Structure 1
Amino acid sequence: MEAAALPTSEEVIVCRVTRWYFRRMGILAGMLFLMGMYFLYDGKYGYPAANKVAEEKEWFEQVLLKSYDEAKAAGAEEAWAAGAAAKGWPTGKNGEPPRWISHAAAKGWPEKPHKYTDREIAEQFWWGGGTLCAALAVAVVLLLNRKKTLRAETEHWTTPEGVTVRYADVFRVDKRPWDQKGLAYAWHKDAAGREKRAVIDDLKYQGAARVLDRILAGFKGELIEKIPDPPDDAETTPPQA
């Protein structure tokens, strides 16, 4: 394989992380943080509150309605209603038995409350903790990328990870994802002769396209590009008379 000709430009290209990347990562960290807090809120307050409503429904059906049925069977409905009212229990209206749907509606509760198990409550804390850890990880990545740059000089370029690559050592470039994702991959050999892959990310680093152009200037290695889709038959076939 012939060595790639070195670019002649002496301009140092410095590509810094784009605002788009910081905004995207910031939004992701914020979403993960809010999700984590929501999980923790449900575990601490939401699920226990829902369980209280479910337990209230069980009490309503097993205790209150049972006592009402017993009073009705004994013909002591009025005495039961007076005693229930003194205790703050729902007593029904117009001589009708108390109904859970009316009691729940007055309290703003669901008609069919769900009772969560201890495991389901514990899972909210696990999910909350895990999501908050993910938010923290994204925030750390965001901070670590603040001062990263992609640099291109006369004879070499430097990746954001600090790896220096000579243009002459690049033997393969894959541009297939470039048009859609702004990504290109450059294979090169290190000092030990091992093949390595470097990423040129135009969405993350402002002006990375200029670095790619400099890598390709005089490049004689293998260039992999996306093959354009064939035109539709309707566009290529002339209409028949």
Structure 2
Amino acid sequence: MKVNARISVEWRRRMLILFLMFFGVGAWFLADGYVNWPNEAKRYEAFSEIRSELGESDEVESAHSEEGESAEVQLAWKRYTEEQGISNKIPKERTEDAIREQRIIGGVVMAFALLFGGWVIWNHKLSVRAEGETIIGASGQRVELDSIVATDRKKWKKKGIAYAIYEENGKRKRLTLDDHKFAGCEEILLEAERRIKAREGDSSE
């Protein structure tokens, strides 16, 4: 028997989605921490100056908009942003502590994303193989096909995972056959089950 069960397309797709999700979250926090929030902090500083200047004037209108700023403050801010060529959206206060927190969270999530990506790449070097009478598991575990005495399919239907129960030095151990991760494991599993049934048939005669 010769089977080389390598990483499946489905597993690769799922891991890619997870990697992109972690990477995207990390990039989002880092972008806020190093670009968006520092820029908004500068805009808020300019906005605060405009508001303070108008607050000292007798001509400040008492009417306020839904955003909580007077019409005159908004008009002055709009003129300023048009002159500077920046967003006219009313900025929020972004403190140094808040910006630092975004950078830390982004750094941690991004580091995890890169480690996760490295782990996924490393897994592509693994496989489950059947060479002649021997099965070689993903971790290098070597099991003789005829030493398998039972199989466990409890997780097969939902997860595509089965266990081959085998005997070694008088002890029962198990070999994981993950067909969801390693496409082709089912062929090995079926061969093991065929041999178990054949031995049971021989013993009953």
Q: Classify 1:187/1:124 alpha carbon distance in 2 versus 1 (closer, same or farther; 3 Å).
A: farther
The structure carrying a bigger helix percent of its residues is: 2
What's the CA shift string for 1:194-222, capped at 9, x where partnerless? x54432111221221111112222437xx
CA RMSD of aligned residues (A): 2.9
Match of 1:35 in 2: 25
Match of 2:74 in 1: 101
Paired residue secondary structure (2:162): strand
Structure 1 counterpart of 2:103, from 125, 133, 143: 125
Structure 2 counterpart of 1:47, from 34, 37, 40: 37
Structure 2 counterpart of 1:214, from 188, 191, 195: 191
State the Cα distance separating 1:47 from its structure 2 match: 1.1
Q: Does the 8 A contact of 2:26 with 2:109 survive in 1?
A: yes
Alignment pair present for 1:20 and 2:10:
yes
The one-letter amino acid paired with 2:56 is S
Q: Classify 1:53/1:154 alpha carbon distance in 2 versus 1 (closer, same or farther; 3 Å).
A: same
- 2: distance between equivalents of 1:196 and 1:103? 76
Calculate the TM-score normalised by the size of structure 1.
0.63
- Kindly, what percent of the aligned residue pairs are identical? 27
The structure carrying a bigger strand percent of its residues is: 2
The one-letter amino acid paired with 1:217 is R
- 2: distance between equivalents of 1:184 and 1:55? 62
Across the two proteins, how many residue pairs are aligned to each other?
Answer: 182
Alignment pair present for 1:110 and 2:83:
no
Match of 1:224 in 2: none
The one-letter amino acid paired with 1:210 is E
Paired residue secondary structure (2:94): coil
Paired residue secondary structure (1:217): helix
Paired residue secondary structure (1:99): helix
What's the CA shift string for 1:39-58, capped at 9, x where partnerless? 21111111112222333333
State the Cα distance separating 1:159 from its structure 2 match: 0.6
- 2: distance between equivalents of 1:103 and 1:169? 83
- 1: distance between equivalents of 2:170 and 2:109? 41
Paired residue secondary structure (1:119): helix
Q: Classify 1:116/1:215 alpha carbon distance in 2 versus 1 (closer, same or farther; 3 Å).
A: farther
Alignment pair present for 1:198 and 2:198:
no
Q: Which moved more, 1:35-44 or 1:195-204?
A: 195-204
Match of 2:119 in 1: 141
Rg comparison, structure with higher value:
1
1:229-240 to structure 2, matched below 5 A, reads none
State the Cα distance separating 1:146 from its structure 2 match: 2.5
Paired residue secondary structure (1:219): helix
- 1: distance between equivalents of 2:169 and 2:96? 58
Match of 1:223 in 2: none
- 1: distance between equivalents of 2:72 and 2:174? 70
